Chains A and B, each alone.
Chain A
Amino acid sequence: MSAAAPALAISGGAAPRGLARSSVLPGFGISLGFTLVYLSLIVLIPLSAAFLKTATMTWPAFWTAVTSPRVLASLKLSFGASAFAAIINAFFGLLVAWVLVRYPFPGKRLIDALVDLPFALPTAVAGIALTAVYSTKGWIGSLLEPYGVKVAFTPVGIVVALTFIGLPFVVRTVQPVLEDLEREFEEAAASLGANRWQTFQHVIFPVIMPALLTGFALAFARAVGEYGSVIFIAGNIPLVSEIAPLIIITKLEQYDYAGATAVAVVMLIASFVLLLAINLLQYWSRTRGRKS
């Protein structure tokens, strides 16, 4: 570490002017050096271990590992249920954000604060709580049972858990955009004869769309990797309600490290693609916000 910090400081100084613009502030070398070393040790090197481990596998072995029926079913379930939950969250998250920004009602501040609960509540707690509530003996599950709707221990339960986990993302990305929305545009639309629904469709929605998509992508990305809240409510039946992260755990428990890592790499690549998409969406969202 002591060797890395000065080396970085030197490379910073030797680079073209304007790179590390000469500053009177101290500590650039040490803070950047520490940041890079810590980032490498905790994040980059361990993550690269997953890719290097997969690189030791032959291509057919990798392919067999990630295309076995059980793995494919779990990937399909993880991505499908996540997409479904993210769509639910996009719709209801927009509605919640709208209501929180536009309408005063009793208890609004408390509700606003509680929207972040899924960020703060440990996933295992969320998992057992949702299972208790949505099982056939639970408060909500018992109401649904007479209609033949089973939630806990079915793929529906997975969607419920993933909806819970992703709930704050859409609300918190759309809310600030709605707050900044200029009422003048809506007034102009109304004066031109648009009704509220037309105004929403053609004036409000295009402005909040990038934020909504960002929230959707964030909720989706979070849901794909989610483990704690899902395993309690899922029932974990192979080929039916077994999510991809659980496959990784199962393979690890069977000491199939290569198989576990192969599935992990597929999920990592999907996550990075999503991360890239989210960054592009946020960039789009920012430039769009500046124009309006």
Chain B
Amino acid sequence: MSWGRAMTLDGVGSIADPAPRHQASRRRVTDEAPWLRWTLVAIAIGFLTLFLFVPLAAVFYEALRKGWDAYFAALVERDALSSIKLTLLVAAIAVPANLVFGVAAAWAIAKFEFRGKNLLTTLIDVPFSVSPVISGLIYVLIFGAQGWFGAELKAHDVQVIFALPGIVLATIFVTFPFVARELIPLMQSQGTEEEEAAIVLGARGWQTFWRVTLPNIKWGLLYGVILCNARAMGEFGAVSVVSGHIRGQTNTMPLHVEILYNEYQFQAAFAVASLLALLALVTLALKSFIEWRTGREGAPINPEGPSR
């Protein structure tokens, strides 16, 4: 925090003046020596470099290794385009579904008192602690050829597993908690007074939601949605189990990356991967922007009272 100032006051100069010396020595007891500070900073950055920055840089380096022409060729290739389209389509279904759920769950949990609320909140978080592979497996057990509804689905010629519905379901499962867990604490901290005032003044339920609640939660909502979207577009394990890996049909972008990589088309794999890495960087930028806009840093947003 203020060690910069303390450092300048530290040393011979401060002895001449008793007041700053007092200040300086008080600072010093809760600060580490400069060499130690810089060593710790260096170790932290070194660790992040080895595990984060170098791999991130490698994605773009490998993608552009053969130049821009090869890069764009890998992106406009037919199977790549179809994987991009499928990824966008899946996210366009899964994210709104979880958005509606998140708002409904947060409304019930934050605005009303009922028994079993803590259990419900815990259950909403369950998908985060389930392995992605298992998230896909459970849908195979229900909709797969040997599953609960397997025979029936086959009789009606409906395909869920190895088709779009399965991919969407698995994606909804893994991104299930994102919006809800962002909104529940936010709406709880905002209380019910504003909504109650609106209702007492004669507003209808939906009017109250659109005009009072929504403006108050818009940043938290956006925060949840961008995180949900990033995971929806990037999910690999769960989708891998239910997709069937049919080229040009049921391959999402992460699955397409895997196929290219396993076929030793490294540059093409990294080209498609670079789009997903860009998506991740945009997500982080938006996330930081929302944190800055709502006056919070680092931690999940949970502003006290209505946001500005």
Contacts and interface: CB of A to CB of B under 8 A. Distances in A.
Interface of A: 12, 15, 18-21, 23-28, 30-32, 34-36, 38-39, 42-47, 49-50, 53, 92, 95-96, 98-100, 102-105, 109, 111-126, 128-130, 132-133, 138-140, 160, 163-164, 167, 172, 175-176, 179, 183, 186-187, 190-191, 196, 199, 221, 224-228, 232, 245-246, 248-249, 252, 255, 257, 260-261, 264, 267-268, 271-272, 274-275, 279
A134 to B, nearest CB: 9
B169 to A, nearest CB: 7
Interface stretch (B14-22, B66-74, B151-159, B234-242): B234-242
B129 A257 contact: no
Given A15-B115, A42-B169, A227 B54 contact: no
Given A42-B169, A249-B133, A228 B254 contact: yes
B130 A114 contact: no
Contact of A35 (B29, B120, B199): B120
B30 A183 contact: yes
A224 B122 contact: no
A279 B125 CA distance: 11
Given A119-B227, A228-B132, A35 B101 contact: yes
Contact of A196 (B32, B233, B240): B32
Given A50-B138, A116-B284, A172-B299, 8 more contacts: A26-B208, A27-B209, A36-B120, A43-B127, A44-B123, A92-B47, A102-B1, A129-B273
A47 B132 contact: no
A3 to B, nearest CB: 17
A253 to B, nearest CB: 10
Contact of B44 (A39, A92, A179, A186): A92
Contacts of A98: 40, 44
Contacts of B125: 275
A111 B51 CA distance: 13
A227 B287 contact: no
A152 B237 CA distance: 20
Contacts of B287: 113, 116, 120
A23 B130 CA distance: 36
A123 B234 contact: yes
B254 A249 contact: no
Interface string B192-204: 1001100110000
A154 B176 CA distance: 34
Contacts of A109: 288
A279 B130 CA distance: 15
B44 A96 contact: yes
B222 interface: no
B221 interface: no
Most buried by B among A35, A116, A119, A138: A35
B105 to A, nearest CB: 4
Given A31-B107, A272-B129, A128 B261 contact: yes
B13 interface: no
Most buried by B among A47, A99, A120, A260: A120
Contact of A50 (B141, B209, B285, B299): B141
Nearest to B169: A42
B269 interface: yes
B210 interface: no
Contacts of A190: 29-30
Most buried by A among B30, B45, B261, B276: B30
Contacts of A46: 138-139, 141-142, 173
Contacts of B148: 49
A82 B253 CA distance: 27
B113 A21 contact: yes
B298 A176 contact: yes
B41 A49 contact: no
A199 B236 CA distance: 45
A121 B235 CA distance: 10
B35 interface: no
B40 A95 contact: yes
Contacts of B107: 27, 31
B40 A99 contact: yes
Given A35-B120, A38-B101, A119-B227, A271 B130 contact: yes
A120 B40 contact: no
Interface string B260-294: 01000010011001001101110111011000000
B85 interface: no
Nearest to B192: A25
A103 B58 CA distance: 29
A129 B199 contact: no
